[in-house]
């Protein structure tokens, strides 16, 4: 039950949250779940119609002696041998990536603050190195990025110490929760299976569909404006264009759904830990995954569709920008501005959805309600949330970079002699064969780095989801952590009190304890003069700020930086 301002009172929200975390509830946005499943059925129908045609054409080509040029026997042997040598090193790279990803969670927990500062320094350092690199084609652009990132790092270090402390505590806390609930990173890792399977199936379907419309399209002649030569083309027709656009939207939508199911699952586990530490549910990851795939699935489909539509629009604008290069300078500038604007809009919607899905996971809201409440939270603590996410995401991103470098370096060292030196040092080996082994060596290193980046990114997504959820939970209801984990609540409150002393809130709390952004009411500054409390002091001995109820010694909306 909501009040006149669209908020739900704290006790009602607690009951709503408790019911949502415990188990089955009414399905939200079920229509959009049905639309998503129907769209998958349509993609499957396209695959059933067109993939057999592509396979038959490929089979006919294999049996056509004139359709294939036979490679030299030495080249064929080199290709086969290099592939046999490369596979073990790919498995080594994948194993290193997995071990590093798990170890990185522990490193984050132990050195959260150091990683935040290293990440702040590393970004401008990279841009500075690129600016000074003689081979850089655009040193001015990288120099601008260096200046911007350097100013941002200085602003954080010199004026935002409390935000850094809050980011450190959230990062270390979430890493500890993930180590306690390994199901979070297991779900993230297993999500790669449907993601890869979907991409392979989609590539086959899209390729077969394009082949079908091209094979049955109308041929036409045109003059190349750059060379003046006459060329022939094939029109796939309006139906072909619509079908391919639909398939492009499909890959974006499905990929978003898979990643957001993982995000909602991990957010649900973190919320269960936050609100129900004294009455823990058995197998919280299984319960959270079940809710994400059932009662919250429609909301996930709706929010994912919004991002997918903007991604599709971005691609269409980018295609128009490339085609406008022949239309003059003004046209190119206009389309560049359009592409930049759509890209900015895409990033904002993706970030907003990330927060909204946290509301879906915690309270089981439909997407529209979650978006409205997320907007209230963004208005109240938007800058703090963005800074917190930026600091923690950069720190986690270090693990992705280090994982890729570590895996690539190890595979490069192990495979150098056997895959590159030994096969090419034999007498009588041609330059073409040497090129085959060199290419196999380079591709093996690149594949190991890609595997490490993908694995570390996937597992680190559990950290990102957890940080967002912990920020939302603390900003909305810090008293819940007081009831479930008093020592941790004392640490958070100590940091938050310092933040409130340095950055007094502009508006008073709303009817439910959160910021009343629609009807701001200035409060006396002394109301937020929080006492100095040492970390670890028993919570019952901590005096609340003047004029603030004990249950909300730090106002819910102002609780975290």
What's the 3-state SS for 94-145?
Answer: HHHHHHHHHHHHHHHHHCHHHHHHHHHHHHHHHHHHHHHCCCCCCHHHHHHH
Q: How far apart are CA 80 and CA 423, in angstroms?
A: 12
Rounded mean pLDDT of 354-377? 88
- pLDDT of res. 6: 34
Average pLDDT over residues 410-415: 88
433-448 pLDDT, tens digit each:
777 788 888 888 888 8
Query: Is the per-residue pLDDT at 168 higher than 80?
Result: yes
Is the pLDDT at 529 greater than 50? The verdict is no
Average pLDDT over residues 284-308: 92
Residues 362 and 292: their CA atoms lie apart, in Å, by 11
Q: Convert the pLDDT of each residue in 392-409 to its tens digit.
A: 888 888 888 888 889 889
Specify the 3-state DSSP secondary structure of 427.
coil
Q: Is pLDDT at 357 greater than 90 in this prediction?
A: yes
User: According to the model, what pLDDT value does residue 386 have?
Assistant: 61
Q: How many whole angstroms from its chain centre is CA 405? A: 20
Global pTM value:
0.76
**What's the pLDDT at 120?**
84
What are the beta bridge partners of residue 223? 230
Which pLDDT score, from 0 to 100, does residue 388 have?
Answer: 66
- Please tell me which residue, 207 or 231, carries the higher pLDDT value: 207
Burial 157-171 (b: 16+ CB within 10 A, else e): eeebebbbbbbbbbb
The pLDDT, as a whole number, for residue 35 is: 96
pLDDT number for residue 268? 92
Q: Are 212 and 205 in contact (CB under 8 A)?
A: no
Q: For residues 517 and 297, which has the higher predicted lDDT (pLDDT)?
A: 297
Show the tokens assigned to 271: 């919320």
Q: How confident is the model at residue 223 (pLDDT cuts 50, 70, 90)?
A: low
Whether the pLDDT of residue 284 is over 80: the answer is yes
CA separation for the pair 443, 72 (Å, rounded): 22
| pLDDT band per the 50, 70, 90 thresholds, residue 43 | very high
Give the Cα separation of 539 and 543 in Å (integer): 9
pLDDT > 60? residue 549:
no
The answer on pLDDT for 52 being more than 50 is yes
The pLDDT of residue 4 is 31
Provide Rg for the chain, Cα atoms. 28
What DSSP string runs through 250-292? HHHHHHHHHHHHHHHHHHHHHHHHHH-SSSPPSSHHHHHHHHH
pLDDT at residue 208 above 50?
Answer: yes
Read off the pLDDT of residues 109-127 as tens digits, 9 standing for 90 and up: 788 888 888 888 888 888 8
pLDDT above 90: residue 48:
yes
Instruction: Indicate whether 303 pLDDT > 90.
Output: yes
For residue 383, name the pLDDT band (cuts at 50, 70, 90): low
d(C-alpha 167, C-alpha 558), whole Å? 15
- Give the residue with greater pLDDT, 383 vs 345: 345
Specify the range with the lowest mean pLDDT, choosing from 384-398, 485-499, 536-550: 536-550
**Residue the block writes with tokens 């139906």:** 239
> How far is the C-alpha of 355 from the C-alpha of 376, rounded, in Å?
11
User: Which pair of tokens denotes residue 249?
Assistant: 């939207």
Note the pLDDT tens digit of each residue in 242-277.
999 999 999 999 999 999 999 999 999 999 888 876
Q: What does each C-alpha distance from 332 to 321, 323, 419 come to in angstroms?
A: 6, 9, 47
Tokens of 160: 């935002």
Give the pLDDT band (50/70/90) at residue 280: low
> What is the average per-residue pLDDT within 540-558?
33
For residue 318, with 0-12 CB atoms within 10 Å meaning exposed, 13-18 middle and 19 or more buried, which class applies? middle
Best CA proximity match to 107, nearest among 341, 395, 385, 301: 395
pLDDT for 530 beyond 50: no
pLDDT in tens, 455-498: 888 888 888 899 889 888 887 788 888 877 788 888 888 777 76
How many percent of the chain have pLDDT more than 90?
17
- Which pLDDT band holds residue 307 (cuts at 50, 70, 90)? very high
Mean pLDDT of the chain: 77
């Amino acid at each position: 039950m909501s009040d006149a301002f669209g908020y739900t009172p704290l006790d009602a929200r607690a009951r709503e949250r408790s019911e949502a975390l415990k188990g089955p509830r009414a399905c939200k946005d079920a229509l959009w779940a049905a639309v998503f499943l129907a769209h998958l059925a349509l993609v499957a129908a396209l695959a059933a119609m067109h993939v057999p045609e592509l396979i038959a054409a490929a089979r006919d080509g294999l049996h056509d002696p004139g359709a294939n040029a036979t490679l030299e026997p030495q080249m064929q042997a080199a290709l086969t041998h290099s592939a046999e040598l490369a596979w073990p090193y790919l498995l080594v790279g994948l194993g290193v990536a997995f071990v590093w990803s798990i170890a990185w969670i522990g490193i984050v927990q132990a050195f959260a603050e150091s990683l935040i500062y290293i990440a702040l320094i590393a970004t401008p350092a990279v841009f500075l190195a690129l600016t000074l690199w003689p081979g850089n084609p655009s040193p001015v652009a990288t120099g601008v990025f260096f200046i911007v990132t350097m100013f941002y790092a200085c602003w954080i270090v010199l004026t935002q110490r409390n935000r850094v402390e809050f980011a450190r505590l959230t990062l270390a806390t979430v890493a500890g929760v993930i180590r306690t609930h390994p199901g979070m990173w297991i779900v993230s890792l297993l999500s790669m299976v449907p993601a890869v399977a979907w991409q392979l199936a989609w590539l086959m379907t899209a390729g077969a569909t394009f082949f079908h419309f091209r094979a049955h399209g109308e041929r036409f002649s045109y003059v190349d404006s750059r060379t003046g030569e006459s060329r022939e083309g094939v029109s796939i027709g309006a139906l072909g264009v619509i079908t391919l656009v639909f398939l492009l939207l499909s890959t974006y939508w499905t990929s978003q759904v898979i990643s957001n199911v993982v995000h909602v699952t991990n957010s649900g586990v973190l919320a269960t830990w936050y609100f129900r530490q004294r009455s823990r549910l058995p197998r919280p990851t299984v319960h959270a995954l079940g809710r994400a795939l059932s009662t919250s699935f429609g909301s996930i489909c709706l929010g994912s569709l919004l991002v997918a539509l903007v991604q599709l629009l971005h691609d269409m604008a980018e295609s128009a920008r490339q085609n406008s290069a022949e239309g003059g300078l003004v046209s190119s500038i206009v389309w560049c501005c359009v592409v930049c604007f759509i890209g900015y809009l895409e990033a904002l919607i993706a970030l907003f959805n990330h927060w909204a899905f946290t509301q879906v996971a915690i309270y089981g809201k439909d997407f529209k309600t979650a978006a409205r409440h997320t907007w209230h939270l963004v208005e109240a603590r938007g800058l703090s949330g963005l800074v917190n996410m930026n600091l923690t995401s950069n720190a986690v991103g270090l693990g992705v970079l280090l994982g890729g470098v570590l895996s690539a370096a190890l595979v490069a060292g192990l495979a150098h002699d056997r895959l590159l030196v030994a096969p090419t040092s034999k007498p009588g080996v041609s330059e073409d064969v040497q090129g085959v082994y060199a290419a196999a060596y380079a591709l093996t290193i690149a594949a190991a780095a890609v595997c490490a980046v993908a694995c570390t990114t996937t597992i680190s997504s559990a950290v990102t989801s957890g940080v967002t959820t912990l920020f939302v939970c603390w900003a909305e209801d810090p008293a819940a952590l007081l009831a479930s984990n008093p020592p941790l609540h004392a640490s958070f409150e100590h940091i938050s009190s310092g933040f409130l002393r340095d950055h007094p809130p502009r508006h008073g709390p709303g009817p439910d304890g959160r910021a009343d952004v629609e009807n701001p009411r200035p409060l006396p500054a002394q109301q937020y003069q929080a006492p100095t409390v040492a970390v670890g002091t028993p919570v019952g001995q901590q005096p609340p700020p003047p004029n603030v109820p004990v249950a909300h010694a730090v106002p819910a909306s102002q609780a975290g930086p």
